[in-house]
Amino acid sequence: MKFAVIVFPGSNCDRDMYHAAKDALGAEAELVWYQDAKLEGYDAILIPGGFSYGDYLRCGAIASTSEIVTSLRREAEKGTPILGVCNGFQILVESGLLPGALIRNDQLKFICHFEDLIVKNNETLFTTDYDKDEVIKIPVAHGEGNYYCDDTTLSELKANNQIVFTYKNNPNGSVSDIAGIVNKKGNVLGMMPHPERAAEALLGSDDGLKMFTSMLKNWRDQYATNA
């Protein structure tokens, strides 16, 4: 399995993503500069955290207009797994690949610590190695991670089982404690907590590694089916 890790000006978790995919998981991985604008030939795409373009206008807003996002949309339509974490989640929302918005934390402070998440949907490409309602320990690091959507969108997310992770103790004011959601097709996941920073026990938790092993196993199953 070959991962693409998209790098924007201001990304600062790209090496963490690369390490999780290549070293912790043992898969192939490449850093892809945003101006390359081509994502064909990769089996999964990772959009890391950071402060793309300095978070000017809104977090992820400028990055969402980059040419590589056009390629990202094509890959999403094809069914390629796409994981956006923190700023990556913000980019997915700003580009319209996921619904809702990420706004300032309700206490108006940057937060950086481990949080307990509840796995609400363990049937996605990213979560099959988890148990439903399993509590996992994943770090957060954001100032604008407060997930917001209107009542109609929230009802749709619930009806379609698109809420993948919720916070056990909501740290930022997110509606319905949402920490991560998936698109209707199930191949685009956005989340504020950082699984790549919890891919090895040395880091304080290896609960995030199951997200990468889930992607690998589902890719292998698909490959075997199509072979």
The pLDDT assigned to 57 comes to 80
Contact between 182 and 189 (Cβ < 8 Å) = yes
What does the alpha-carbon distance between residue 9 and residue 86 come to, in Å, rounded to a whole number?
A: 15
d(Cα 6, Cα 23) in Å, to the nearest integer?
A: 17
CA nearest neighbour of 186 among 112, 106, 97: 97
Residues of the chain with pLDDT under 70: 223-224, 226-227
Q: Are 52 and 11 in contact (CB under 8 A)?
A: yes
* Residue 58: per-residue pLDDT: 85
Q: Which residues are catalytic?
A: 86, 194, 196
Domain ranges of the chain: 2-226
CATH number of 2-226: 3.40.50.880
pLDDT of residue 56: 83
**Who contacts 83 (Cβ-Cβ below 8 Å, separation ≥6)?**
44, 45, 46, 47, 126, 189, 190, 191, 211, 215
CA 141, CA 111: separation in Å to the nearest integer? 5
CA distance 134 to 53: 36
* Cβ-contact 162, 184 below 8 angstroms: yes
* Predicted TM-score (pTM) above 0.85: yes
pLDDT (0 to 100) of residue 37: 74
Q: What is the pLDDT of residue 9?
A: 93
Residue 136 φ/ψ region, left for φ over 0, alpha for ψ in the -120 to 50 degree band, beta for the rest: beta
User: Is 164 in contact with 180 (CB distance < 8 Å)?
Assistant: yes
User: Chain centroid to CA 10: how far?
Assistant: 17
Instruction: Say what the pLDDT of residue 226 is.
Output: 66
CA distance 150 to 53: 28
Helices (H) and strands (E) in the chain, counts: 5, 11
Give the DSSP H/E element, type plus range, for residue 64: none
